[in-house]
Amino acid sequence: MTVVIPESVSAQGNVKAVFVPAIADPSSGPDSTELAAGTDIGRYLMPEWEGPSGEQNTGEDSRFYSTQTFTRLGRNTNSIADLVYTYKPQGVTAPDDANDAYDALAEGNTGFLVMGYGIDAAATLTTGDIVDVYPIECGVQNKATTGEDEFAPLTVTQTLAVTGTAFKDVELQGS
């Protein structure tokens, strides 16, 4: 019997991360107008970012008649690893877009993190793309450096709170 190894997609350069301020129906994903109002924050993220993740509670399910204890699944929690992204603290003038992520993700801003996996990071999200949609609130922007060598950029570390239901594997519809 021949073993067939399935094709895979490299993560590097193939994940799209966009902050969208408003989405009328998150379960259907953003339309083209909502996407146009968004900010491609992936360009600013440091490569160590771990992205969204989740956990699910488990509990015991014991029965009087059984000598075994079973496991049941409980509530799940979606979370997003702290963002670490670059910024330019001095002399930003139009059309310089060095602080687009910093500006879009200002503390207290709410919106949606839209993640597209297997999509060229330089491409624009379009109808038919499959994305995950996370409603978020932006936390404090903490300025720092990433790394200790001569190439260490100035960065911002920021927590995003997932504030509602996450919608995963949503196919983008036309507007």
What's 132-143 look like in SS3? Answer: EEEEEEEEEEEE
Handedness of CA 174, 23, 9, 100 (dihedral sign): positive
Per the structure, the count of domains in the chain is 1
Q: What pLDDT, on the 0 to 100 scale, is given for residue 175?
A: 60
Q: What pLDDT, on the 0 to 100 scale, is given for residue 94?
A: 62
| Residue 3 domain flag | no
| Residue 149 domain flag | yes
In whole angstroms, what is the distance from residue 77 CA to residue 53 CA? 8
Write out the two tokens for 4: 């067939």
State pLDDT tens for residues 94-135: 667 888 999 999 999 999 999 999 999 999 999 999 999 999
| Residue 1 domain flag | no
State pLDDT tens for residues 34-71: 999 999 999 999 888 888 999 999 999 998 899 999 99
Q: What is the mean pLDDT of the chain?
A: 90
Q: Domain of 109?
A: 15-171
| Residue 5 domain flag | no
